[in-house]
Structure 1
């Protein structure tokens, strides 16, 4: 039984029993072999690896020649060989409690091994009961807390699909009176870049108004809509590449098209970050050479040249040595516009991604010791993100660093795309790539134990189409906006958290 489209997947097993209960449905572990069941060996509970993995939606392959089983589950790929205690992952190796072994024709592993390798939660007792789940008992309580909050669909009724833009970037106007979002003309995954429209509505979800048709919108971060001020927005249309338009709230074009890819984050002092590189403009941009630019008051100027300025770091970077081949992501100004930060990709492997910061005039370029996943500015001199240092456990914990890479504090638990409240007291983030279900947790800053689970839904097309959850807080910090997978589509929702903060 495959539960890959189920939320909060749970498997119940019993030592010596050939049956299992999967999301409250009784099933046979192996219909052709009633001898396959959980067993106890040397005080450890062993479970049938293929069955449990496939229940969670894994792809399982068996290599008869080497007696090796390979499992691709969510963001993990693991290989285990009969008789060996080693489990090989993509970038590391872990030791099992006991070797993989064949019992009654089935590959069996310790229950704890499966939980540790694939980030699942397990329970067993002296009666022989075994439970494997996406959620802990504490998570279940946190999810019930989430049910005491008010949830509202933000987007207009009848829309095929809808999204807010970048993670951590509030869809409300600076004064909190308006909300901007995009509506798609198709459901995913019919077209990689479907047409759609830009809408605004009042913050009380009244007076939804289409202000602009968009010929081509990415499923990744929508149209990258940002508020420049209470009357002005920026968005992208991909019909002729990656063109940026500056419009008013009536949809009138004030400036554009501009051949620059929009960065993210709130816009301090009207400074809109733009990026130009080989990925976004393979034939070059009329703005000038590859690098980071800024739009302000109708004028675009270059902040840092990718080759001349950022290229000075080349001796310290792995990957490709030609700056013209490097990619720029996640350009963002600090809270008062003094600094910028970007993610720089110099090659394909995950370890060839770097976080770089510099002053808004392109000087004082600094390289962080590690790439912090989905970095954002915490204030005008420190950044926060999820720590993806392979040597840090747990990986992807939310932390804050200064520009010299000194860790200042742990902000919250493990996550992915995230947002932080304006008063810096609350933090929200969803689970890592390819996880299913997608679970979004709310934290008090400084705590790794969640305050509540705001969402736990089957992934749907979230990962396939890169339609990320992209949570962010309202201007007053009392609501969380997010893109919610809903069956075969996605829509903008918000949760009112005022009752629990």
Structure 2
């Protein structure tokens, strides 16, 4: 994401520390946001916190994760179709079409051939497709955690969002039922409010993600949160995004965790702050918001 002066721009979500508990009280995951979690070798997955049982588990093939075609498409909200005569599976989502053919390395993205590392296959009576190739070409973000074989797929559908043009030469897309506008004291600080009353404050920084980690550490350490884990999207380059996991022991002895996601895309940045607890093992998100700016 860049401004007209060419500087790298990252939209940073700031939370007023005294208001953290209030903000996390909102547990609704909005229709435009999909969060899919699964583990290679297990047929139990979650889609927006709801447990889903797959007919067959995801597995590795040539270093790539293969998942059931219909499960992935329907979990992301895509329209799925299968042509038995051509052995082609097609997923359509927000105006993007991705087609794979059983046994072929030639995938189609909006009709254009894109090479895949592994082909779609039939296994145990089910069609399996390469997860990362299909998901990312549909506009989703995929994170794979080697130590646990866990995979998360996150997708935001912005196709029906409104557009807001700010005085700082930035253009934003935001949910039609939400409100957005600059704060009174700073034109570079934008307030985004959901229908349920929570407020998201975004500000701007020309530093790269690696220079912002200390900001996140300071933000949560003030309230006693301890940094437990730093997970990089690309181990060779922290500026490609990361996840920070903070922990805190509650009065009843259990632990709560805050997850800070920073995902860098070609057209913008996804930044989200979510909370989990040991008691419920559910993730409540203080709005995982896709910033679309130019």
TM-score, normalising length from structure 2? 0.48
| Structure with the larger strand share | 2
Q: Which has the higher contact order (CA 8 A, sep 6+)?
A: 2
Bigger-Rg structure (1/2): 1
| Structure with the larger helix share | 2
